[in-house]
């Protein structure tokens, strides 16, 4: 899972970044935009959720919000995924640290066997088993499920990967 948030989430004391990091979700900050007013979720590259709904308790209980769930529209889902990855490509990992008893670095930040590991600073990705893949710093690590995702996000393959 991946979340891309605007830079306000880096400075607010309690932000969505804090919640997402504590939930073990890889959280990136798009510092190129003051406000990222996108309320979008892409689930399993098949379902798109969008609208004005802010995914907060207040939105659920007090505000007049709308939410649209779109299925069976693969080209539209792909377009939204590409937009998310374009913002992820110029984002950096959230500086928020998980707190509480499960404050270890979540698997989404450290990567799992089979994931493609990208370095947010160098914009280089490594395939599983390539030299350097396992030694990346967690705060500069982004994971991709497929090489195409890494390339769409603006990363290039490490020269020492076959």
Q: How far apart are CA 2 and CA 71, in angstroms?
A: 20
Q: Edge to edge, what strands does the sheet with 67-70 contain?
A: 40-43, 47-51, 67-70
Q: Quickly list DSSP for 22-74.
A: HTT-EEEEETT-S-----EEEETTTEEEEES--SSHHHHHTS---EEEE-S-H
pTM for the structure as a whole: 0.57
Which two three-digit tokens encode residue 44?
A: 């399993």
The verdict on domain 107-162 having CATH code 3.40.10.10 is yes
CA nearest 26: which of 100, 85, 113, 114?
Answer: 85
56 φ, ψ (degrees, to nearest 5) = -125, 165
pLDDT digits (tens, 9 = 90+) for 38-89: 889 998 889 999 999 877 788 889 999 999 999 999 999 999 988 888 888 8
Superfamily of domain 1-98: Endonuclease Chain A (3.30.870.10)
Which two three-digit tokens encode residue 28?
A: 């990136």
pLDDT on residue 47? 93
Residue 73 CB contacts under 8 Å (≥ 6 apart), including other chains = 48
Q: How far apart are CA 82 and CA 30, in angstroms?
A: 15
- Residues forming CATH 3.40.10.10 domain(s) in the chain: 107-162
pLDDT digits (tens, 9 = 90+) for 89-146: 888 888 765 554 433 333 333 333 347 888 888 888 888 777 776 666 666 778 777 8
């Amino acid at each position: 899972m991946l979340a891309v948030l605007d830079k306000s989430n880096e400075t607010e004391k309690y932000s969505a970044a804090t919640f997402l990091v504590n939930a073990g979700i890889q959280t990136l900050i798009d510092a190129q935009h003051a406000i990222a007013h996108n309320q979008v979720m892409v689930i399993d590259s098949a379902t798109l959720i969008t609208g004005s709904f802010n995914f907060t308790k207040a939105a659920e209980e007090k505000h007049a919000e709308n939410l649209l769930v779109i299925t069976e529209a693969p080209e539209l889902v792909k377009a939204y995924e590409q937009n998310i990855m374009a913002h992820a490509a110029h984002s950096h990992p959230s500086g928020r640290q998980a707190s509480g008893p499960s404050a270890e670095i979540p698997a989404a930040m450290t990567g799992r066997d089979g994931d493609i590991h990208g370095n947010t600073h160098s914009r280089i990705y490594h395939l599983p088993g390539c030299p350097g893949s396992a030694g990346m710093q967690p705060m500069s690590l982004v994971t991709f499920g497929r090489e195409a995702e890494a390339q769409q996000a603006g990363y290039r393959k490490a020269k020492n990967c076959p």
